[in-house]
Amino acid sequence: MNRKKISFILNGTHKEFEVDPNERLLALLRRNGYKGTKYGCLEGACGTCTVIMDGKAVDSCLVFAFHAQGREIVTIEGLGWGSEPNEIQKALIDEGAVQCGYCTPGMVLSAKAMFDENPTPDDETIKVQMDGNLCRCTGYEKIWSAMKKISASHKNGKKRK
């Protein structure tokens, strides 16, 4: 296989990587230390490998690494950290919407893409936009409840910290 160089914006920083043509974005990110992007079903069903590509949540297991050329990618490492959670992470914690936590990075990124595009999604929009993320612990209610609270706080003009 011919390895080739590609470059893209990763979490706000211009990066260059050598990629194997057959390599998926998920594998490229993980071998470069971005391990918040999780291995899951590897067939686009579970959403645990979610990243944001040019503002849209996608499954990095279904995206060839070379597809990222010239694009903007955000992984969970590009959002809030433990000591400084962002509003989505904080809402998930507040609602008790995290159990094993394996799906959480993907959930956070899907929610981030959704709220960046529409700060006040209605219940139906939340369900459609989040339908690519599976959670086998919480039963979704607490996750949706967290999303609804963020949406409501945006409606009231309050940005959660």
Partner 1 sequence: MKIKDFVFAAKVSEAYSFLREFGDSAYLIAGGTSTFFMKSRISKIAIDINRIPIKGIRKKHGMFEIGACTTIDEILRYRSEGWVLNKVALHFVNQHVRNISTIGGNISRVFYWSDFPVALRVLEGTLKLTDSSAKKANISETFHNAPAQRAVFKNSILEYIEIPQLSKGMGFGYSKETRTATAFSSTTASAFVKIEKGLISDIKIAIGAVCAFPLRLFKVEDSLKGQKADCSIAGKIDFASLSRYKLTPREGMTSEYCTHLLKVKISDVICEAIKDAAGVSK
Enumerate binding residues for partner 1 (CB under 8 A). 1-2, 4, 21-22, 43-45, 47, 50, 53, 56-59, 62-64, 66-67, 69, 110, 128-133
Q: With respect to partner 1, which residue has the nearer C-beta, 69 or 153?
A: 69
Q: Which two tokens stand for residue 138?
A: 């919480």
* Helix pair angle (104-117, 141-155), 10° resolution: 30
Element containing residue 145 per DSSP (H, E)? helix 141-155
Q: With respect to partner 1, which residue has the nearer C-beta, 3 or 158?
A: 3
Residue 158: CB minimum distance to partner 1, A: 27
Residue 43: CB minimum distance to partner 1, A: 6
Q: With respect to partner 1, which residue has the nearer C-beta, 47 or 85?
A: 47
Q: Is 3 exposed, middle or buried (0-12, 13-18, 19+ CB in 10 A)?
A: exposed
Residue 132: CB minimum distance to partner 1, A: 4
Query: Looking at beta carbons, which pairs linking 80-87 to residues 24 or more positions away fall under 8 Å?
Result: 86/112, 87/150, 87/153, 87/159, 87/160, 87/161
Residue 157: CB minimum distance to partner 1, A: 26
Distance of CA 94 to the CA centre of its chain: 19
Q: With respect to partner 1, which residue has the nearer C-beta, 21 or 101?
A: 21
